């Protein structure tokens, strides 16, 4: 697998950043040397200049780390310890006079830094960081069915000397932030577009990549056209995970011509009537066979449960008979010597020991429920998923849930401010 230079460098920094600095992953703690290395590109970044003795810096840590987690790896968050003697010249260069000082670098080391003056909270940091990325995605609109081909051809006519990449989304009315970051990273190398598909998937159908019989495949698709293309001929469909690093690697492979042929989409022809009927019959036979096996398994379990229940009843009856006989003999021996038992708290006559006492089974101890700490991201939409807990990514990545879809525009203004994992479409 070929990694992009940015990903490879971040991976090289990882062991060092884990061992040093105030903040944990995914915040990377930099020194003067690594600071200049990560700033040698034009990617937007956030940097916190801090000191370990500073109480405000410690208070900033959870919020800053949570914001970094939400935007990782789209916008990197860094931290520099200005109390380290080796970093003092760097902090002086950026005129750091108080802690914490947060600076935004819209073009990393290729442009001027901007002081962040907003609230030191996760949501505010996320929203501000997202404004550092310019929108270079061409948004397409299909006003009515039947116009899909014309819309796509119009997109291909723009910047004909560049390869074109189109994101087709079934529901999101606004451009996903992940797609904006990719367009910014590949600016001048690729022309990225976005279109919201119709409910009947006419855009995907016009591209020849929609199979109505394939219900397992997601309706969010990415297709690439070579430079100079004027139609869907020669397009390549992305087949991997809809996450930032995987998409960036595939797009760079499209530029370099190093993607394997398997990533190229095959023309999907509709199945013939005979083939469709055979498929339906095979699926029906498989379903019937599975139902029969499930029914047999249920019957076997019921029979076994009934047998065990019968054995328990027989053992209980035998034990009760033996206990009754033993109790009768005991009563005969001590009859007249045992005082009446005092009534219980409810006025019901009982017995302290002896055959009159009722035996109560000890209740099982309660199993403690695992709690989710909101400070650790437990209040995210993934934490409320029916499967319980957060996905491995999200989200964005546990999606997303995630997990994998983006919220509709009605939800963007509120949900994206706090809990969305942005690295996944």
Q: Are residues 146 and 62 in the same domain?
A: no
Edge-to-edge strand list for the sheet holding 236-237: 138-140, 191-196, 164-169, 221-225, 236-237
Question: Does a structural domain hold residue 354?
Answer: no
Domain-embedded: residue 110 = yes
pLDDT tens digits, one per residue of 302-329: 777 777 777 777 777 787 777 777 766 5
Asked, for residue 414, whether it belongs to a domain, the answer is yes
The answer to whether position 292 is within a domain reads: no
Average pLDDT (216-239) is 91
Are residues 158 and 256 both part of a single domain?
Answer: yes
Torsion of CA 117, 121, 122, 126, to 10 degrees: -20
Considering the domain boundaries, does residue 372 fall inside one? no
Of the chain, the percentage scoring pLDDT greater than 90 comes to 47
**Using an 8 Å Cβ cutoff, are 24 and 65 in contact?**
yes
Domain final residue, candidates 248, 263, 278: 263
Same domain, 143 and 121: no
- Identify whether residues 45 and 122 lie together within a single domain: yes
Range from 39-43, 194-198, 411-415 carrying the lowest mean pLDDT: 411-415
Boundary (domain end) residue, out of 236, 263, 290: 263
Angle at 199 between CA 193 and CA 201, to 5 degrees: 60
pLDDT value of residue 330 = 54
Assigned domain for 416 exists? yes
Name the helix (H) or strand (E) containing 125: helix 122-130
Q: Which residue from 237, 233, 229 is spatially nearest to 262, judged by alpha carbons?
A: 237
Number of domains in the chain: 3
| Cα–Cα distance for residue pair 186/45, rounded to 1 Å | 16
Among candidate residues 64, 97, 130, the one where a domain is terminated: 130
Specify whether 164 is located in the same domain as 118.
no
Looking at residue 226, its pLDDT comes to 94
Statement to judge: residues 48 and 19 lie in one domain:
yes
Domain of 417 in residue numbering reads as 387-425
Mean pLDDT over 5-34 rounds to 67
CATH code: domain of residue 197: 3.40.30.10
Does residue 301 lie within any of the structural domains? no
- 15 and 105: one domain? yes
More confident residue, 154 or 212: 154
Q: Are residues 116 and 159 in the same domain?
A: no
Mean pLDDT for the stretch of residues 22-36:
94
Judge if 96 and 165 occupy the same domain.
no
Query: Same structural domain for residues 142 and 257?
Result: yes
pLDDT band at 423 (very low <50, low <70, confident <90, very high): low
Q: How far apart are CA 65 and CA 306, in angstroms?
A: 56
Q: Could you tell me which of 378, 384, 418 has the C-alpha nearest to residue 401?
A: 384
Cα separation, 193 vs 176, whole angstroms: 11
Within 10 Å of residue 321's Cβ, how many Cβ atoms?
A: 10
Q: How far is CA 337 from the centre of its chain?
A: 74
| 362 φ/ψ angles, rounded to the nearest 5 degrees | -60, 130
Tokens read off for 81: 């310890």
- The verdict on 106 and 152 lying in the same domain is no
pTM recorded for the entire structure: 0.60
On whether both 166 and 101 belong to a single domain, the answer is no
Cα Rg, the chain, nearest whole Å: 33
The answer to whether residue 378 is domain-embedded is: no
């Amino acid at each position: 697998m070929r990694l992009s230079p940015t990903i490879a460098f971040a991976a090289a920094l990882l062991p060092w950043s884990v061992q040093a600095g105030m903040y944990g992953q995914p915040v990377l703690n930099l020194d003067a040397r690594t600071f200049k290395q990560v700033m040698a590109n034009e990617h937007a970044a956030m940097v916190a200049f801090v000191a370990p003795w500073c109480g405000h810096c410690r208070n900033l840590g959870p919020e800053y780390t949570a914001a970094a987690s939400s935007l990782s790896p789209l916008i990197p968050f860094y931290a520099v310890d200005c109390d380290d003697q080796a970093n003092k010249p760097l902090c002086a260069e950026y005129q750091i006079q108080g802690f914490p000082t947060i600076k935004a670098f819209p073009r990393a080391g290729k442009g001027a830094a901007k002081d962040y003056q907003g609230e030191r909270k996760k949501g505010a940091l996320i929203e501000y960081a997202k404004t550092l990325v310019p929108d270079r995605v061409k948004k397409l609109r299909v006003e009515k069915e039947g116009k899909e081909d014309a819309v796509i051809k119009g997109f291909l006519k723009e910047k004909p000397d560049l390869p074109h990449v189109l994101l087709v989304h079934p529901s999101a009315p606004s451009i996903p932030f992940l797609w904006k970051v990719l367009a910014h990273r590949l600016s001048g190398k690729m022309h990225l577009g976005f279109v919201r598909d119709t409910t009947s998937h006419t855009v995907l159908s016009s591209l020849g990549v929609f199979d109505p019989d394939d219900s397992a495949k997601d309706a969010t698709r990415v297709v690439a056209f070579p430079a100079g293309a004027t139609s869907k001929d020669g397009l390549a469909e992305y087949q991997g995970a809809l996450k930032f690093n995987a998409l960036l690697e595939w797009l760079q492979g499209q530029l370099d011509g190093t993607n394997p042929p398997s990533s190229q989409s095959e023309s999907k022809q509709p199945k013939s009537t005979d083939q469709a009927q055979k498929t339906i019959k095979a699926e029906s036979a498989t379903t019937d066979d599975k139902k029969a096996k499930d029914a047999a398994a249920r019957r076997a379990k019921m029979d076994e449960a009934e047998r065990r229940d019968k054995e328990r009843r027989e053992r209980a009856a035998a034990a009760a008979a033996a206990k009754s006989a033993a109790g009768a003999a005991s009563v005969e021996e001590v009859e007249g010597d045992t005082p009446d038992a005092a009534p219980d708290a409810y006025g019901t006559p009982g017995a302290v020991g002896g055959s009159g006492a009722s035996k109560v089974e000890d209740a099982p101890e309660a199993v403690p429920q695992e709690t989710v700490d909101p400070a650790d991201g437990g209040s995210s939409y993934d934490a409320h998923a029916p499967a319980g807990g957060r996905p491995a990514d999200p989200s964005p990545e546990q999606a997303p849930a995630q997990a994998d879809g983006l919220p509709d525009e009605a939800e963007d203004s509120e949900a994206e401010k706090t809990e969305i994992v942005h690295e996944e479409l």
